[in-house]
């Protein structure tokens, strides 16, 4: 997108690995309120829905949304595969 102000292009990323799962958390510190959608509807794609479907296809879970403190948070837990 061009000409549309948005959150800062910085994010905090956390990665955790347990014997049974991989945990990822990605968060930016944008505004508390969601910006209005672009007038033309913006670019189309699979976005969060596609990421959630991919995580579920691997037996995992993905959650995404705006926490009360602002910004946007995506967390995913994926099962770890055992070596053959």
pLDDT tens, residue by residue, 22-62: 999 999 887 666 666 666 655 666 788 999 999 999 999 99
| DSSP H or E run through 25 | strand 21-28
Is the model's pLDDT at 18 over the cut of 50?
yes
When pLDDT is cut at 50, 70 and 90, the band that residue 11 belongs to is confident
Phi-psi region of 57 (alpha: psi -120 to 50; beta: other; left: phi over 0): alpha
């Amino acid at each position: 997108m061009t000409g549309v102000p948005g959150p800062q292009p910085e994010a905090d990323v956390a990665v955790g690995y347990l014997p049974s799962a991989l945990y990822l958390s990605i968060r930016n510190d944008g505004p508390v309120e969601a910006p209005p959608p672009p007038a033309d509807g913006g670019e189309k794609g699979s976005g969060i829905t596609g990421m959630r479907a991919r995580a579920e296809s691997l037996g995992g879970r993905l959650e995404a949304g705006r926490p009360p403190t602002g910004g946007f948070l995506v967390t995913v837990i994926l099962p770890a595969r055992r070596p053959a």
